[in-house]
Amino acid sequence: MNIAVRRQEAAASGNGRGLMGCLSFCLGVEEYGIDILKVQEIRGYEAATRMVNTPPFVLGVLNLRGVIVPIVDLRIRFGMAEVKYDSQTVTIVLNIDARVVGMVVDAVSDVVSLELEQIKPSPELAGARSSAQVIGIATTAEADGERMLILLDIDQLMRGADVGMLAQA
């Protein structure tokens, strides 16, 4: 989900206001968004079968209709202090480069249509692990004020060397 490429495609097609669909979800008090086209399904949380020699944020694997799916808890991956599983906790099943991966989040909010002009580049922050995983910040007007979404490049996030689930492109 490269915003610069999408802006160029929208300009070339004569539609300078390209749209992008995002699935928004919560991790703690923050809201994040990922490209809706990467989402295969949303499931209620279920415990995964733990695998040996995996990082703590890789909860294990699930068997989803005959497909063995690695499950990553984004709360643990992002270093959140408190991780609890409740009725709102869900697993978002993603299809990335013909591989199926699941990620556990606190809750799914909704699907948001964003105009590319609403997406601003993420700021470069000292000490940040990787700005390549955050493609931008989107702000939308809501009835009770503005809503800010941190847009993740889920391909980059799942390709990270510490995840090791998807081969580097």
Model pTM?
0.81
Distance from the Cα of residue 99 to its chain's centroid: 15
Read off the tokens for 31: 């809201």
pLDDT at 128: 53
pLDDT tens-place values along the chain, 169 residues long: 455 544 444 444 444 557 889 999 999 889 999 999 999 999 999 999 999 988 999 999 999 999 999 999 999 998 887 788 999 999 999 999 888 999 999 999 999 999 988 888 877 765 555 566 888 999 888 777 788 999 999 988 887 555 555 544 3
Read off the tokens for 52: 């040996």
pLDDT at 38: 95
Q: What's the CA gap between 133 and 41, in Å, rounded? A: 22
Read off the tokens for 63: 């068997």
pLDDT at 162: 56
Q: CA of 61: how far to CAs of 19, 44, 104, 143, in Å?
A: 34, 15, 12, 40
| CB 134, CB 32: distance < 8 Å | no
For the chain, which domains are there? Answer: 3-159 (2.40.50.180)
Q: What's the CA gap between 56 and 5, in Å, rounded? A: 35
Closest by CA position to 158, among listed 73, 53, 68, 43: 73
Q: Which helix (H) or strand (E) holds 77?
A: helix 74-77
